[in-house]
Amino acid sequence: GAGVSQSPSNKVTEKGKDVELRCDPISGHTALYWYRQRLGQGLEFLIYFQGNSAPDKSGLPSDRFSAERTGESVSTLTIQRTQQEDSAVYLCASSPTALYEKLFFGSGTQLSVL
Amino acid sequence: QQQVKQSPQSLIVQKGGISIINCAYENTAFDYFPWYQQFPGKGPALLIAIRPDVSEKKEGRFTISFNKSAKQFSLHIMDSQPGDSATYFCAASSRRALTFGSGTRLQVQP
């Protein structure tokens, strides 16, 4: 079966432009997470979706960041008016239940803001 | 505020040696402590995890030691192999998204 799929794998954009990152979770997984990984650093929690519940947006660093998820399928992370400090790998993960025991990560989107 | 502190930042071990990575946490509400392994260009993958009701968990060459009173836990990799060369992240959770440590880059020399 397919794992978590993220697209694009690499994105280069100019400062001030908007970008949209996509995540296709493993089929049947109800929970979906977005994390940010800056070069040489740990994973920074951004947002968490669980089924039809209101998402946990407590990790979003500013109002330039937003995310949506359609039911229990695809999610998109949007960054408006990108800044150079937004450059990072954006990782998506899904898990089969509301429990967080095992997260399955995608390979990430490498975002470079010039 | 960094809730999970991980050390060392990098580690070089000879093949066959023991690799030890340490983590400390602050939030006493954490009740689940996994370790993730990440190879270059890939997302992290769950390696082993422990809950605070036990002090040790072993899976093959990988062991987690947990000290609840000290709020510390560590990963031990026995008989380290070059294929273990990767970045290792500890994490902790209290029924929400995982909080990750900053990572340890392990290099096992042949």
In tens, the pLDDT along B76-88 reads: 999 999 999 999 9
Pair A102, B46: CB distance under 8 Å:
yes
pLDDT at B95: 73
Nearest CB partner across the interface for B46, out of A33, A48, A103: A103
Nearest CB partner across the interface for B89, out of A4, A42, A102: A42
In sign, the C-alpha dihedral spanning A105, A107, A113, B3 is: positive
Burial of B97 (0-12, 13-18, 19+ CB in 10 A): buried
Q: pLDDT class for B11, splitting at 50, 70, 90?
A: very high
Fold classification of B4-109 is Immunoglobulin-like (2.60.40)
Cα-flanking dihedrals φ and ψ of residue A85, to 5°? Answer: -70, -10
Q: Which CATH architecture has domain A5-107?
A: Sandwich (2.60)
Q: How far is CA B84 from the centre of its chain?
A: 13
Q: Cα separation of B80 and A29, whole Å?
A: 34
Interface test with B, best of A37, A43, A92, A97 (most B CBs within 10 A): A43
In tens, the pLDDT along B44-72 reads: 999 999 998 999 999 999 999 999 999 99
